Amino acid sequence: MPIARSSSTLRLIHGSFSPKKVARQYPVLAGFHRATDGALWGVLVAVLMMSALSLHWRHLWTVAYTQLETTRELTHKLKSSTAMIEQHLLKRSKLPLSMVRTNAAKLYYLDNPDIITGIKRSDSVRNSLLKRFASYPVNYGY
């Protein structure tokens, strides 16, 4: 008999808390309960999506940082190898007879003639808009 008694108790508990019976007796409470369940599911889905995006962005940052470190390391190796080659070439080469050793005190500073004439030209109204935005070639050397 104890088995029949426990099964009737479970039926009583199950019958008193059935969602259909509560929805018929208290429709506002049932609607509020459904809305709360929906909001909780929505929050759960939003948290899962944000967690997935956060992990994805962290992965992308890790990959980019690794590539940055690799690039810095390769740049350092390139600079050191270039310096070694330059040192080797400087040791093996001799100065031409036309070049003499000097220091900064013996150097003279001269204004670039293109800049001086460019300032005079910019004052004139005759320059077209195209010439103002044109890129002039860079002259290398002294």
Distance CA 119, CA 130 (A): 17
Average pLDDT for 33-42: 93
Q: 1 pLDDT exceeds 50?
A: no
- Give 132's DSSP letter: H
**What's the maximum distance between 2 C-alpha atoms anywhere in the chain?**
121
Inside any domain, residue 67: yes
**Domain carrying residue 44:** 16-99
Average pLDDT, the chain: 78
- The structural domain count of the chain equals 1
Confidence (pLDDT) at 28: 87
